[in-house]
Every structure is written in C-alpha cells, then in structure tokens.
Structure 1
C-alpha cells in the first residue's frame, strides 16, 4: 500500500486542527453566559428593541443555523461585524495584529539572543561535572524563571521601572521605549527555558568525537565553540524558538492587558467582557490559526533539515 507523503500528512493534520479550532471558537463564545444584545444596548433598552436587534443579528436562530452562517462567512473571507461598533471584524484585527506580532517577534528574538550564549557559557563552565555550584545556581535560577507567569513579570516590571524608578512608560504604545517592559515580560521565561535547552545541547556536542579531536589538535576555544559547536546546537534551540513564537503570540493576552498594549490580547479581553461575539470569535480564530501555521512551518523546516524525520513519518 502506497504511503502518504509526509508533507501531505502535515497538511491534513493542519486542516483537521483548523476545523476543530473553528468549531471550538464558535462553541466557546456561545457558552459565555449573558445576552450580547442586552449588553450592547444597555440594561434600560426596551424589550422590543432588544428582540428586534436579536432578530436582525440572527441570534434568535438555532445554533446549527448560526454556525452554518458563520462558516459560510469564513469561507468567503467575512469574519463578521462587531455588535458594538458595526465595524468589520477583519478591520479590527488588521489594525491590532501588527502590534501583537511585533511584540511576540521581539520577545522571541530577545529570548534567542540571550539564551543561546547563556546556555553555552553554562555548559562550558559545568562540563565534566566542574563547578557544581554554578550548575546548581543555573538550574535553580532558570527553573524559577520558567515557573513565573508572564503577567507577574509584567506587574513587577511596571512596579519597579515605571512606577518606582520612572524610567520607562507604564502602558500604551508610544515610541521604542514603550516596547521594553512588555517585551521583557514576555521574554524572561522563554529565555530561561531556551537557556536550559541550549546548555543541554552544548553539553551533548562537547562530548562528541569531533570536539575531542579538535581539542587534541589544540584548536583555539573561540574557534571551537563558535565555528563548530554553536551551529550544531542551534537546530533544537531554533526549532523551539519557532514554536515559542506561536506560544508568545497566543500567550501575550494578559501582558497586553497589563500594559494596555493595543494588540489582539487587549481586544479579546474587551470583546469577551462586552460580549461582542464576532470580534471575540475572530480574534480566537486568528490566534489559533497563527499557532497552527507556526507549528506547521517548524514541522516542515525540521523535515527539510532532518530528512530522517520524514522517513520516520512515512
């Protein structure tokens, strides 16, 4: 029996995951208690007006009929219209998505640039069981840093650098300085996680035959580490960095809320609070699709860089 091509298998998984995401985003929003029409019109609105608005929005129809209309709209590129403002959801997302992507990309870049040298340095310092104190300190510090949620970092950074020292803006997007605190809040935990992985990969490479041969030939340490060890340790780190990007995009919600950052994270909190179904559905769908796309691209890239992974999937 002919086996499917690995890329086709990945695309099928992506399509199935996307279909599940569409169903889940629709179901989650409709499980939120409360009347979105009453919320948008206010508690003093007449019953007749609420009923007329509900019928106009199609919310009086059975859920299967609403879901059918929702999917039909998605297939034609229509994400719906905001209940509160009447603005197309695609326009709302288009205005805020770049702010969220910019934050996540910068945080991923900062995490990679800090984690790789930190992990390599820790590996070199603790190779062959040397410097047990350094190894313990590194493991404790990075483990604690990974365990702290991003929003707690956000609150701490605002308290110290914005409120206490008045060095950086506490909220909003107004110039390069406003990126510093939210990027740091998002990057600290991933930096610690990637540093641990970078150290483990570096230790593995330092035990390889080619490293022992290079040392026997008295190759300068800088050349050994940067030209030979570093490229071989980057595959796993960069792979996780790609997955991290998707996680940071989806996980930036609370950080954006703390910093009043004009991105999708703040918008989804507002839309759920205000029961603006179409906006909340659209943002959830965009978040999920981005994560799925990033995972697919990383998966494909791994298949290209490591052909044996494609063989294993066949």
Structure 2
C-alpha cells in the first residue's frame, strides 16, 4: 500500500464524521435562516389594513401613501414581492424605512455597533464570572461540605436570575447613577456609560450559568475517571483544569447556549432603560411608529444572531466531545 493510500485510509474515517457534521449543521442553519426570512416577510403581509397608511397616519395624502407603497414594492403581486425581498437580502438590501425613506441597512449599520458595544462585553462578563464562580463553589461544596456556602450561593443566584433585566437596570440607575452619581444616567458617553448596562444585561445570565457549571462540575467529579486521576496523585489544579472542567463544559454549553440567546432579547429592554443608541431602542421606537420594514430588518439581525450563537455552541460541543459527530451520523 502506498504512502498516499495509507494517509487516506487513516484520515478518511476521521474526516468523514466532521464533514458530515459540518454539512448537517450548515444545512440546518440555512433552513432556519430561510424560515426566519419568510416569517419576517409575512410580518407585513399579515398586518390588518394598509401598513403604509398605518405608518404615515390617517391624514397623510393619498398621493404620498401610493408613492410610498410603490417605492416599497407593495403594489406588486405577493410572489413578486417575496422574490424581490429575497433578492434584496442577497444584495444586502433590507428595504426602506416607511417614515424616513432611509435604507434599513443604513439604519442597522449605524445602530448595530452600539448594540455590539454593549452585548459583547456583557457576554464576556458572563463567561469570565460564571465559569470560575461555578467551578469554585463546586470545589468548596463537593461531597456535601460547607452547607452554608452552598445555601448562600444557590439562594443568591436564584434571586438574581429571577429579577427581570429592566428591573435590575432601573435599580442600578436609581442607586449608582441618581443617588451616588458614579455613572451616567443614560446615553453613550464613554466607557463609564457601559458599566451599568453591561451589569444589568449580564447579571441574570451569569447567575444561571454559574449554577449550571457548579451542578455539572459536581456531577463530573463523581465519575470514575476523576477518582482514577486522584488515585494517581495528580495535582488538584490538573484534575479540575484537565479532567473536570472540559467534561463539565460539554453539558454546560448545551444549556448555556440556549440561555445566552435570551441576552438578545435582554438588550432590547436594557437599551431602552439606558437610552442606548442601539438596535434595541431602535426596534422599540419602530414598533411604536409602525415602521414595519425597519422592524423587519432588525428582527432578521437579531434572529440570525441567535442562530449563529446556536451554531457556535454546536461547533464548540463537537470540539469538546468529538464522539458526538459520530453518534449523530
């Protein structure tokens, strides 16, 4: 057997499951995006009455209403509107605002950086705080030890996770911004403006994720391979870092990924409390103003963001546990 044949024989079985896994995940992602796009398109079609008239008001001249309908392509047959909508999305055209006439893609491009400026640090805070905290309390309370610490940790995280983001945001503003004057009340005025909204957005998810990490770590610590590692007198840091944490993260990512997608909805509430100039405050204003194309575009951005998070979680799970790519095949 030649060297090339040997290499193919060795690498083929390994590459096969990963290729199949990647194709399945990309296929699911593509179908999910198509369903999301179709639902966003039908959003305007299912609105009772004339959405253009609703957006411009009952007193708007008929000529203006007709001109705006023609500009939006709403005077075309439904199938043509759908094909035009799909073609526009491929070109990066999300439509035009009913009220301002500004391209939706331009509005999203202006506001998306502000939302990412808020969401990315909040996501980092959740990961940096929740995983070490959950691991620490798993170590402290292993084997039923330190019941007081376990009760305090569980009670505190349950309480913090149960408080809605907007109530946390209001409380932070009232105490740290209004009463103490340590941070700006609202708006985007530099790094200090990020502190309160990031805390409001990250506090609940970090509480939930830290509990998940603790429970999964305790479950892993009871397995035979952990006892074997301890019997070999490996240092505790190696037992936790090399054996316990990777196995705990496999189950943690599954639940944590679904939970972190909830942060997308949380940005809408938090941005409105802090008057943050991002997509969250923009979509709230657009709903009130009945600017449906703008709502459509922002819903698509949020939806694709959730799908990308789920795809990333699936890939990370496969990296941590390559056997899952074979089991699914």
**Following the alignment from structure 2 to structure 1, what is the Cα–Cα distance between the partners of residues 45 and 170?**
32
**Following the alignment from structure 1 to structure 2, what is the Cα–Cα distance between the partners of residues 124 and 51?**
67
Q: 1:213 to 1:12 in 2, by over 3 A?
A: closer
1:118 to partner: Cα distance:
1.7
Match of 1:143 in 2: 158
1:280 to partner: Cα distance:
1.1
1:100 to 115, 132, 141: 115
Deviates more, 1:174-183 or 1:52-61: 52-61
The answer to whether the aligner puts 1:204 opposite 2:222 as a matched pair is no
Alignment of 1:1-314 (within 5 A): 5-33=20-48, 35-209=50-224, 211-213=226-228, 215=230, 221=236, 224-226=239-241, 229-237=244-252, 244-314=259-329
Indicate conservation of the 8 Å contact 1:250/1:291, yes or no.
Answer: no
Indicate conservation of the 8 Å contact 1:101/1:249, yes or no.
Answer: no
Indicate conservation of the 8 Å contact 1:142/1:193, yes or no.
Answer: yes
**Following the alignment from structure 1 to structure 2, what is the Cα–Cα distance between the partners of residues 151 and 241?**
21
Structure 1 residues 81-111: Cα deviation after superposition (integer angstroms, max 9, x where no partner): 2222222211111111122122221111111
Give the number of the structure with larger relative contact order, counting CA–CA contacts within 8 Å between residues 6 or more apart: 1
TM-score normalized by structure 1? 0.87
Indicate conservation of the 8 Å contact 2:184/2:193, yes or no.
Answer: yes
**Following the alignment from structure 1 to structure 2, what is the Cα–Cα distance between the partners of residues 154 and 63?**
43
Indicate conservation of the 8 Å contact 1:112/1:241, yes or no.
Answer: no
Q: 1:307 to 1:119 in 2, by over 3 A?
A: same
Deviates more, 1:62-71 or 1:126-135: 62-71
**Following the alignment from structure 1 to structure 2, what is the Cα–Cα distance between the partners of residues 45 and 289?**
35
Unpaired runs of 5+ residues, structure 1, are: none
**Following the alignment from structure 1 to structure 2, what is the Cα–Cα distance between the partners of residues 39 and 114?**
46
Deviates more, 1:79-88 or 1:32-41: 32-41
Q: 1:151 to 1:35 in 2, by over 3 A?
A: farther
Structure 1 residues 228-269: Cα deviation after superposition (integer angstroms, max 9, x where no partner): 544544444456555555432343111111111111111111
The count of residues paired between Structure 1 and Structure 2 equals 313
1:171 to partner: Cα distance:
1.2
Structure 1 residues 18-63: Cα deviation after superposition (integer angstroms, max 9, x where no partner): 1110111122344445644345544433334333433443334444
Structure 1 residues 246-302: Cα deviation after superposition (integer angstroms, max 9, x where no partner): 432343111111111111111111122212222111111111112112211221232
Q: 1:154 to 1:41 in 2, by over 3 A?
A: same
Structure 1 residues 108-145: Cα deviation after superposition (integer angstroms, max 9, x where no partner): 11111111222122212221112223323322222222
**Following the alignment from structure 2 to structure 1, what is the Cα–Cα distance between the partners of residues 165 and 60?**
40
Q: 1:274 to 1:62 in 2, by over 3 A?
A: farther
**Following the alignment from structure 2 to structure 1, what is the Cα–Cα distance between the partners of residues 103 and 292?**
12
Indicate the RMSD between aligned Cα atoms, in angstroms: 2.7
Indicate conservation of the 8 Å contact 1:162/1:170, yes or no.
Answer: yes
